[in-house]
Amino acid sequence: MYDLIVIGAGSGGVRCARMSAQKGAKVAIIEERFYGGTCVNVGCVPKKLFVYASHYGEDFHDARRFGWDVRSSQFDWPTLVENKNAEISRLNGIYENLLKNSGVTIYNGRGRLTSPNTVEVNGETLQTKNILIATGSYPFKPDFPGSEHALISDHMFYLDSLPSHAVVVGGGYIAVEFAGILAGLGVSTHLIYRGASLLKRFDVDVRNHLAEELERKGIQVHLSNNIESMEKLSEKEFRLKLSSGDELSTGLVLYATGRKPLTHDLGLEKAGVTLGPEGEVQVNEHYQSNIPNIYAVGDVINRMQLTPVALAEGMYVSSQLFGGEPVPVDYERIPTAVFSQPSVATVGPTEEDARVQYPDLKVFRSSFRALKNTVSGNQERTMMKLMVDGATDKVVAAHMVGPEAAEIVQGIAVAIRAGATKQIFDTTIGIHPSSAEEFVTMREPV
């Protein structure tokens, strides 16, 4: 009899399993694919490695006016994929060893609930007091004529070769990130989105500024448009018919139109667990489903599909079950980044939402070319934005589009969570010359 069985060895599942076992609980974890989940294997880690790789072309170009001769630079896709695979394999081993060293029993296979207290894996039935569903999510691709030829994000990490032309469909994190990756690696890239603006849940200034910068980098953005059909002409050429009536010929189509909770074929219905309209496990504030001993965290509950959020939720469940002080997740002030080119980072509400929450809102905004670009000739501009509650002088949100946005906004997020006021920002000495100092030198609201 186990105290806890975790189904899914992604970030949230592994964290909860490890912490619970270290508190003395008898824990098992079941994983049928790979340790570390989407983030480590086909998500944020390999994607960030690809982002690094794709930015070198621009860096080499910018380096010329700093005196560097880089005429011989060439890119080799197989080398990047091979080295990425080696790093992911190393991380898989680390996750597996973390579980083993914590005393967690590992089962490789598909876990299915057969009742609220039993899980079947590889023909064996396991008894348990509690179950945690942490199976994550999967990329969603709509059905349309020829959709079987379109790729999803998982495929992009294992391509044999890069095409000369590619089309990315979507307007969220993954779409704009892969559009930047492909364009940075020399692929002629089109980004198609059915909506009126990219990153629709982000601040309007972020959305507008990023759209301008993507087009400046050569990405052709098609808004309020979609693919009606896709026809395979050869192994490396496809013809697309768009809702606008236009046609495109391309070598690759990537659909990055969101992810859905991975709850199919887990036996959740058999155990009586209630699912939501997207297939998500519905949970309360303690991550309990309608069956009190069955919990769920991470992408599978469809709140915030972010690795650090899943980690925090997993920690909460472990403390809730096996001792410790559960720390509620503050969903209102979660910092997040989009590793587009240039990158985006944000914490706190959009201006539209903030004006509802804070009637006396003050907005501070700055747009500028970074010092490096004045010599390199690069026309990229950085945008920074602070929002302040005039009634309390507290800084309630920060948004940035520009190089190293995530590194900068992470620190700002700590200050906002601590309740820092605009006066504290104003009286903080800036680090000069840096882009980050702009956050403490914006004096006049717009």
Q: Which residues are catalytic?
A: 432
For every residue of 203-215, which 3-state class applies, written as one string? CHHHHHHHHHHHH
**Mean pLDDT in residue range 45-51:** 98
CATH superfamily label, 147-257:
FAD/NAD(P)-binding domain (3.50.50.60)
The pTM assigned to this predicted structure is 0.96
For residue 117, give the 3-state DSSP assignment: coil
Which of 3.50.50.60, 3.20.20.80, 3.30.70.1140, 3.40.1190.20 would CATH assign to domain 2-138+260-331?
3.50.50.60
Q: In what order do the strands lie in the sheet with 336-338?
A: 336-338, 344-347, 394-401, 382-389, 361-368
Is 396:349 a contact under the CB 8 Å cutoff?
yes
Identical fold, 2-138+260-331 and 147-257: yes
- What sign does the dihedral 248-254-256-260 (CA atoms) show? positive
Distance from C-alpha of 44 to C-alpha of 46, rounded to nearest angstrom: 6
- Quick one: pLDDT at residue 73? 82
Phi, psi of 64 (to 5 degrees): -60, -40
Distance from C-alpha of 441 to C-alpha of 429, rounded to nearest angstrom: 9
Q: What is the DSSP secondary structure assignment for residue 196, as one 8-state letter?
A: S
- Quick one: pLDDT at residue 158? 96
Mean confidence (pLDDT) of the chain: 97
DSSP string covering 182-193, please?
HHHTT-EEEEEE
- Quick one: pLDDT at residue 153? 97
Confidence of residue 70 (pLDDT cuts 50, 70, 90): confident
- CATH fold group of domain 342-440: Enolase-like; domain 1 (3.30.390)
**Mean pLDDT in residue range 200-220:** 97
Task: Give the containing element (helix H, strand E) for 54.
Answer: helix 44-63
72 pLDDT more than 90: no
Domain ranges of the chain: 2-138+260-331, 147-257, 342-440
Percentage of the chain exceeding pLDDT 90 = 98
285 pLDDT more than 90: yes
324 pLDDT more than 90: no
pLDDT in tens, 142-169: 999 999 999 999 999 999 999 999 999 9
441-to-389, 390, 422 alpha-carbon distances in Å: 18, 18, 10
